[in-house]
């Protein structure tokens, strides 16, 4: 069970999945990648459940790739109206670390260094928290 914090409100969300076998775990044993990919899965599911936004496009950046999201059912012909989904995962930190990470994302946006407007989502695996925020450049 994860707590979802969004627009000053808290809600609970249940996630169920099939436990991976040892054969599946072995090639995915990189801790960073597992955290990142787990964060992608949970944040995409949360964004769809809470905001009705689904991933529609993907574009590369220096360190990985960005997801772009738009309302479900939208025919996306360009990036002009879609939002960038900025995902971050915290494997062991408590709630304060998740909140701090979200604050960093908002600060980056405030300084106008990112291709925003965007939706920032941070998942804390240990504390079971997903924090979402809309971030706009100044």
> Applying CB under 8 A, which part among 12-20, 42-50, 71-79, 127-135 lies near another protein?
71-79
Q: Is 74 in the site for another protein (CB under 8 A)?
A: no
Query: Contact between 114 and another protein (CB under 8 A)?
Result: yes
Measured from the CB atom, the residue of 22 and 78 that comes closer to another protein is: 78
Judged by beta carbon, residue 47 or residue 88, the one nearer another protein is 88
The reply to whether 62 sits near another protein by the rule CB under 8 A is: yes
CB-neighbour burial class of residue 108 (10 A; exposed 0-12, middle 13-18, buried 19+): middle
- Its sign, for the CA torsion 34, 103, 84, 17, is positive
DSSP sequence for 85-135: EEEEEESS--HHHHHHHHHHHHHHHHTT-SS-SEEEEEEETTTTEEEEEEE
Residue 134 CB, nearest approach to another protein (Å): 16
CB of 92 to another protein, least distance (A): 5
If we measure between CA atoms, which residue out of 127, 121, 120, 122 comes closest to residue 92?
127
Footprint of another protein on this chain (CB under 8 A)?
27, 30-33, 35-36, 57-66, 68, 77-80, 88-93, 96-97, 100-101, 104, 111-116, 137
């Amino acid at each position: 069970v994860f707590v979802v914090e969004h627009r000053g409100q808290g809600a609970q969300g249940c996630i169920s999945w099939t436990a991976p076998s040892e054969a599946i775990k072995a090639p995915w044993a990189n801790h960073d990648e597992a955290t990142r990919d787990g964060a992608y899965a949970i944040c995409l599911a949360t964004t769809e459940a809470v905001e009705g936004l689904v991933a529609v496009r993907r574009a590369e950046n220096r360190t990985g790739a960005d997801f772009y999201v738009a309302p479900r059912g939208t025919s996306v012909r360009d990036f002009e109206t879609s939002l960038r989904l900025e995902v971050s995962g915290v494997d062991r930190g408590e709630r304060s670390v998740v909140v701090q990470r979200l604050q960093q994302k908002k600060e980056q946006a405030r300084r106008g260094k990112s291709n925003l407007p965007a939706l920032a989502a941070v998942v804390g695996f240990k504390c079971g928290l997903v924090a979402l925020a809309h971030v706009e450049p100044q």
